[in-house]
C-alpha cells in the first residue's frame, strides 16, 4: 500500500512556485503516515485507493451474478447466495465505490481549484475517511456469518429486510450508519472549505463547475443522509426491539419504508451524478480549448436538479398502489427534471461547437459520458411516464437505465477525472496507448453489457432473478460476455494508474494546454503543501 500513492518530494519546487514551505519536519513514516495524515492530498489518495478496491470487490460480485445468468438454469450459485451478491454489489458500488471516489476527488481538487492550503477541517477529514474501512469491513464480514449476508437488494425493502432478513442485517445497519456519518462529516468539511477558504478575490461565481456541483452535492448529502440513518434505525428497532414501524402484523406500514427510503434514495442518485456533471464541465472546455458555454445556466441547472430531486421520490413506487393524484404529481415532477438535465447536455455540446478539439483519454471518457449518460436520460424519460412504468417497473429495462447513468455516467466521469488529474497527482502522464485501449475496451464492454438489458426488460425479464425463461437467453449471454470484458479491462486501469505513479512522461505544471483552472498553477506533482500563502485570484474577464 505504501508504495502505491505518489511519494511527494517535500522540498520539490513548492516554496518558490506557490509561496509555500514545508513546515512539518517530523511526520510519521510508513503506515502511520497514512493512518494519521491530515493532508488533503494524502486523504484524497486514500479515498481514491479505497474506492478502487471497493470497485474491484463490487465488480467481482457483479461478475458472479453475470456468470450465473450466462445461461438459463442454476449452475454456479444457489438463489440465496445470488441474492446476497446482487445486494452486496449494489451496496458496495453505491456507498463504497462511487461516493468515496467523488469525495476523494473533492479532497484532492477542491482546495487546489479554490486556492486553499488544505481542507477546512483536516482532522475531521482523517476521521471521515477512516470510518469507511470500518464500515465496509463490517459489511463484507456479513458474507461469512451464519445465514449469510444481506439478501434483500440494495433498496432493502421491508419486511423482507426486517421480519424475513438474515441475522447479519443488524451489522448491515451498523455499517450503513458508519458510512453515513463519514459522508455527512465529509460533506460538512467540503462546505466549510468552499465557503471559507477560497483564494482572495475568488467569488462563488468564479468557482469551477466541479467545485460548484460538489457544494450543491454536499448540501444534498447533509439533507438526506440523516433520513437514511433514520430509516435504518427504524429497521434496527423492528428487528431487535419489537417495534412495528414496517411490520404489518403489528400495525406498521411496509410502504412507509419505501417513502422514507426513496426520499433519501432519489437525492442519493443525484449525489452520484452532480459531481460527474462538474468533472465533465471542467474537462470538455479544456480539450475544446473554449470556455464552458452557459456557465451561469450550468450552475442554475445544477441547483434546479438538486431542488427537484426532493420532489420526485415516489416515481420509484408507481406500482406500489399510490393514489391517482400522487401518481400524477410524481409523473409531472419527474418529467420536469428532464428540462435542466437537457440544458446541461446542450451546454456541453455548445461548448464543443466551434472549439479546437483534441481527444486525450480524459476527453474520450468525457465524450462517452455525455453520449451514454444521455441514453440513460432517455430511458429515464420513458420510465417517468407512469402508465408505461407499469410495464417497465422492476424489469431489466430499469437495470439498463440506472447502469447507463451510473457506469458510463458516474464511473466514466471518475475515470475521466483520474486521467485528467493524474499528471497533477503523480507528475507523469498516464501511458497514452494503454489508456486508449482501456477506453475502447471499456466502452465496448459497457454497451455490450447494458444495451441488451433494455430488450430483455421490455420483453418481460424481471430484475434480481437468478434464473430466467428461455426467451431471454441470448440477451443474457451477450450481457455476461460484455460484463467480463468490462470487468477485465478495469485491471488494465489499475496497471495504468500503477505505472503512472511509478514513472512515465514528465508533466509540466500546466499539463494540458487548454487547462485554465488554479490547480494548473502549482507544480506537477503537486507538492504536499500548496497555496500556503493564498494566491491572488484574478477572475477571467469577459
Partner 1 sequence: MRKRHVWMTAGMLLAALSSHTLAAEWNMPIGVTDVSREIYSLHMTIFWICVVIGVVVFGAMFYSLFRYRRSKGAEAAHFHEHTMVEVIWTAVPLLILVGMAIPATATLKKMYDASEADLDVMITGQQWRWHYSYLGEDVEFTSNLGTPREQITGDGERSEHYLLEVDEPLVLPVGKKVRLLLTSDDVIHSWWVPDLAVKQDAVPSFVNENWVRINEPGIYRGQCAELCGKDHAFMPVVVEAVEPEAFEAWLAERKAAAEAEASGVDREWALDELMERGEQVYGSICASCHQPDGSGLPPSFPALAGNQALMDDSALHIDTVVNGVAGTAMPAFSTTLNPVELAAVITYERNAWGNDTGEAIQPADIAEMMAE
Partner 2 sequence: MWKTVKSVLAAFFGVQREAQRREDFTSGKPISFILVGILMGIILVLILIVVAMTAAG
- What radius of gyration do the chain's Cα atoms show? 23
Q: Which of 107, 333, 479, 530 binds partner 2 (CB under 8 A)?
A: 333
CB 509 within 8 Å of CB 520: yes
Q: Which of 45, 51, 87, 281 is catalytic?
A: 281
**Residue of 142, 183, 449, 489 marked active site:** 183
Instruction: With contacts defined by CB under 8 A, name the span among 89-97, 255-263, 289-297, 503-511 that binds partner 2.
Output: 289-297
Selection from 411, 534, 418 nearest residue 111 by Cα: 534
Q: Is 253 exposed, middle or buried (0-12, 13-18, 19+ CB in 10 A)?
A: middle
Residue 299 as a binder of partner 2 (CB under 8 A): the answer is yes
Least distance in Å: CB of 322 to partner 2? Answer: 11
- 430: which DSSP letter? P
Nearest distance from residue 284's CB to partner 2, in Å? Answer: 18
Which of the following is catalytic: 41, 316, 424, 438?
A: 316
Catalytic residue status for 270: yes
Is the C-alpha dihedral spanning 218, 333, 414, 202 positive or negative? Answer: negative
Partner touching 524 among partner 1, partner 2, none, CB below 5 to 8 Å by kind: none
Contact 14, 22 (CB under 8 A): yes
218 vs 526, beta carbon nearer partner 2:
218
What is the distance between the alpha carbons of residues 417 and 410, in angstroms, rounded to a whole number? 11
Question: Is residue 388 at the binding interface for partner 2, with CB under 8 A as the rule?
Answer: no
Q: For residue 171, indicate whether it is catalytic.
A: no
Q: Which does 56 bind (CB under 5 to 8 A by kind): partner 1, partner 2, none?
A: none
Query: Of the listed pieces 48-56, 158-166, 230-238, 288-296, which binds partner 2 according to CB under 8 A?
Result: 288-296
Phi, psi of 513 (to 5 degrees): -70, -20
CB of 266 to partner 2, least distance (A): 15
Catalytic residue among 33, 259, 289, 463: 463
Check if the beta carbon of residue 273 is closer than 8 Å to that of residue 410: yes
Q: Which is nearer to partner 1, 53 or 352 (CB)?
A: 352
Whether 523 and 509 have beta carbons less than 8 Å apart is answered as yes
Give the nearer residue to partner 2 in terms of CB position, either 46 or 298: 298
Please name the residue ranges forming H helices in 289-323.
295-308
Q: Rounded CA gap, 270 and 372, in Å?
A: 16
* Interface with partner 2, residue 145, by CB under 8 A: no
φ, ψ of residue 358 to 5 degrees: the values are -125, 165
Q: Is 66 a catalytic residue?
A: no
CA distance 422 to 426: 6
Closest distance to partner 2 from the beta carbon of 373 (Å): 17
Q: Which of residues 343-372 bind partner 2 (CB under 8 A)?
A: 343
Beta bridge partners of residue 395, listed in sequence order: 462
Concatenated DSSP letters of 64-85: HHHHHTTSSS--SS-HHHHHHH
Q: Residue 159: is the preceding peptide bond cis (ω within 30°)? A: yes
Cell numbers placing 25: 519536519
With beta carbons less than 8 A apart as the criterion, state whether 214 and 278 touch. yes
Distance CA 285, CA 280 (A): 9
Spatial contact of 98 and 272, defined as CB atoms under 8 Å apart: yes
Q: Can residue 491 be called a binding residue for partner 2 (CB under 8 A)?
A: no
Among partner 2, partner 1, none, residue 440 binds (CB under 5-8 Å by kind): none
Work out how close the CB of 436 gets to partner 1 at its nearest, in angstroms, rounded to a whole number.
15
Shorter beta-carbon distance to partner 1: residue 163 or 233: 163
Q: Is position 341 annotated as part of the catalytic site? A: yes
Catalytic residue among 37, 87, 182, 208: 182
Min CB(56)–partner 1 separation in Å: 25
268 is catalytic: yes
Whether 393 sits among the annotated catalytic residues: the reply is: no
CA distance 390 to 39: 50
Q: Does residue 313 have an active-site annotation?
A: no
Using the rule CB under 8 A, is 411 a contact of partner 2? no
- Of the candidates 34, 47, 108, 270, the residue annotated as catalytic is 270
Nearest alpha-carbon partner for 426 in 112, 45, 38: 45
Task: Tell me if residue 541 is catalytic.
Answer: no
The rounded distance, in Å, linking the Cα atoms of 8 and 11 is: 9
User: Using the rule CB under 8 A, is 338 a contact of partner 2?
Assistant: no
162 is catalytic: no
Gap between the Cα atoms of 47 and 131, Å rounded: 11
470 binds partner 2 (CB under 8 A): no
Could you confirm whether 206 is annotated as catalytic?
no
Q: CB-wise, 196 or 240, nearer to partner 1?
A: 240
The set of cell numbers assigned to 523 is: 507544480
Q: Which is nearer to partner 1, 1 or 296 (CB)?
A: 296
Residue 71 binds partner 2 (CB under 8 A): no
- CB-nearer residue toward partner 1: 100 or 377: 377
Shortest distance, CB of residue 328 to partner 2, whole angstroms? 4
Name which of 232 and 271 has its Cβ closer to partner 1: 232
Count of chain residues binding partner 2 (CB under 8 A): 25
Task: Check: CB of residue 80 under 8 Å from CB of residue 150.
Answer: no
Q: Which does 329 bind (CB under 5 to 8 A by kind): partner 2, partner 1, none?
A: partner 2
Is 389 assigned a catalytic role?
A: no
> Interface with partner 2 by CB under 8 A: which residues?
203-205, 294-297, 299-301, 303-304, 307, 311, 324-326, 328-329, 332-333, 339-340, 343, 542
Which residues are part of the catalytic machinery? Answer: 89, 118, 154, 182-183, 266, 268, 270, 281, 315-316, 341, 344, 463
Amino acid at each position: 500500500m505504501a508504495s502505491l500513492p505518489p511519494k511527494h518530494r517535500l522540498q520539490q519546487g513548492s516554496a518558490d512556485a506557490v509561496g509555500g514551505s514545508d513546515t512539518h519536519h517530523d511526520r510519521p513514516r510508513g503506515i502511520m503516515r497514512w493512518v494519521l495524515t491530515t493532508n488533503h492530498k494524502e486523504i484524497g489518495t486514500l479515498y481514491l485507493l479505497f474506492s478502487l478496491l471497493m470497485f474491484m470487490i463490487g465488480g467481482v460480485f457483479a461478475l458472479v451474478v453475470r456468470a450465473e445468468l450466462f445461461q438459463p438454469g442454476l449452475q454456479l450459485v444457489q438463489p440465496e447466495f445470488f441474492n446476497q451478491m446482487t445486494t452486496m454489489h449494489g451496496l458496495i458500488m453505491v456507498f463504497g465505490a462511487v461516493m468515496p471516489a467523488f469525495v476523494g476527488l473533492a479532497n484532492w481538487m477542491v482546495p487546489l481549484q479554490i486556492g486553499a492550503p488544505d481542507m477546512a477541517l483536516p482532522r475531521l477529514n482523517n476521521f471521515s475517511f477512516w470510518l469507511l474501512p470500518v464500515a465496509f469491513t463490517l459489511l463484507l464480514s456479513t458474507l461469512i456469518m451464519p445465514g449469510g449476508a444481506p439478501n434483500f437488494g440494495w433498496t432493502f425493502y421491508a419486511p423482507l429486510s426486517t421480519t424475513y432478513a438474515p441475522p447479519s442485517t443488524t451489522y448491515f445497519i451498523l455499517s450503513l450508519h458508519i458510512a453515513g456519518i463519514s459522508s455527512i462529516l465529509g460533506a460538512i468539511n467540503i462546505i466549510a472549505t468552499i465557503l471559507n477558504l477560497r483564494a482572495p478575490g475568488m467569488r462563488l461565481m468564479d468557482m469551477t463547475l466541479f467545485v460548484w456541483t460538489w457544494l450543491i452535492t454536499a448540501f444534498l448529502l447533509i439533507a438526506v443522509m440523516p433520513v437514511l440513518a433514520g430509516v435504518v434505525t427504524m429497521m434496527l428497532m423492528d428487528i431487535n426491539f419489537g417495534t412495528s414501524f414496517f411490520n404489518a402484523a403489528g400495525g406498521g406500514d411496509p410502504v412507509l419504508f419505501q417513502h422514507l427510503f426513496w426520499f433519501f434514495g432519489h437525492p442519493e442518485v443525484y449525489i452520484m451524478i452532480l459531481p460527474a456533471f462538474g468533472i465533465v464541465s471542467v474537462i470538455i472546455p479544456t480539450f475544446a480549448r473554449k470556455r464552458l458555454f452557459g456557465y451561469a445556466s450550468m450552475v442554475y441547472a445544477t441547483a434546479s436538479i438538486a431542488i427537484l430531486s426532493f420532489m420526485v421520490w415516489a416515481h420509484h413506487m408507481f406500482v406500489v398502489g399510490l393514489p391517482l393524484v400522487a401518481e400524477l404529481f410524481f409523473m409531472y415532477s419527474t418529467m420536469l427534471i428532464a428540462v435542466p438535465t437537457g440544458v446541461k447536455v446542450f451546454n456541453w455540446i455548445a461548448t464543443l461547437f466551434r472549439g479546437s478539439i483534441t481527444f486525450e483519454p480524459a476527453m474520450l471518457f468525457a465524450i462517452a459520458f455525455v453520449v451514454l449518460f444521455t441514453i440513460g436520460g432517455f430511458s429515464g424519460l420513458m420510465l417517468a411516464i407512469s402508465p408505461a412504468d407499469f410495464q417497465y417497473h422492476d424489469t431489466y429495462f430499469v437495470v439498463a437505465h440506472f447502469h447507463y447513468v451510473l457506469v458510463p455516467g458516474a464511473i466514466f466521469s471518475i475515470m475521466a477525472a483520474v486521467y485528467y488529474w493524474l499528471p497533477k497527482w503523480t507528475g507523469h502522464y498516464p501511458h497514452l496507448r494503454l489508456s486508449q485501449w482501456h477506453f475502447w475496451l471499456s466502452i465496448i464492454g459497457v454497451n455490450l453489457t447494458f444495451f441488451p438489458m433494455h430488450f430483455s426488460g421490455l420483453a418481460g425479464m424481471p430484475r434480481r432473478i437468478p434464473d430466467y425463461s428461455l426467451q431471454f437467453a441470448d440477451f443474457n449471454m451477450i450481457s455476461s460476455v460484455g460484463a467480463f470484458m468490462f470487468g477485465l479491462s478495469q485491471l488494465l486501469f489499475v496497471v495504468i494508474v500503477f505505472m503512472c505513479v511509478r514513472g512515465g512522461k514528465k508533466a509540466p505544471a500546466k499539463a494540458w494546454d487548454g487547462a485554465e483552472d488554479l490547480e494548473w498553477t502549482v507544480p506537477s506533482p503537486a507538492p504536499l503543501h500548496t497555496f500556503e500563502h493564498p494566491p491572488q485570484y484574478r477572475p477571467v474577464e469577459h
